[in-house]
Amino acid sequence: MDSQSGRYEFTPAQNEILKKAATWTGLFAWIMMGSAGLMAVGGVLTAEASSIGALIVAAIYFIIGLSFRGAVTSLKAVVQTEGNDIEHLMGAIDKLGSAFKVMGIVFLLGVILFVVSTVAIWTWMSSVAASS
C-alpha cells in the first residue's frame, strides 16, 4: 500500500491471477451470449409455440453474458491501470455478484416452474385416469 496516497497496487503475480480470471470470465460471457444468439435464431426459424420460450431464455442468457462482460472490463482494469486496483477489483466483484444473483433468481424460478408444472400435469393426468 502506498502510504502517500492510500492506494494499493497488486504484484505482477497477483495481476496474472486476475488476468486469468478475466480471461475465463470473458470466455464464459461469450459462451452465454453466443448460446443466446443460437437460441434466438433457432426460436425464430422454428416459428412454433416453443419459440417464445426459446427467445425468453435467449434474452436471459444474453443479459447474464453482458453482466459477466462488465466484470471482465473491471478485472482487466485492475491489471492494466495503476493506483486504482482496489476500486476496480471491488467493481468487478460487485458486477460478478450481480451476474450470479441474476443466475440464481432465474434458476430458482425455473425450479419453481418445474415443480408447479409437474404437479399440475400429475393432477390433470390423475383426474383423466379417474374419469376413464
- The answer to whether the predicted template modeling score (pTM) of the entire model surpasses 0.75 is no
Q: What is the pLDDT of residue 35?
A: 94
Residue 6 lies in a domain: no
> Residue 125 class from Cβ within 10 Å (0-12 exposed, 13-18 middle, 19+ buried)?
exposed
> Quick one: how far is CA 51 from the chain centroid?
22
Q: Which amino acid is at 85?
A: D
In the chain, which residues have pLDDT < 70? Answer: 1-6, 49
Q: How would you classify residue 83: left for phi > 0, otherwise alpha for psi between -120 and 50, otherwise beta?
A: left
Residue 28 lies in a domain: yes
Total domains, the chain: 1
Q: What is the pLDDT of residue 3?
A: 46
Residue 131 lies in a domain: no
Q: What is the pLDDT of residue 82?
A: 85
DSSP H or E run through 132 = none
Q: What is the pLDDT of residue 6?
A: 54
Nine cell digits for residue 34 = 453466443
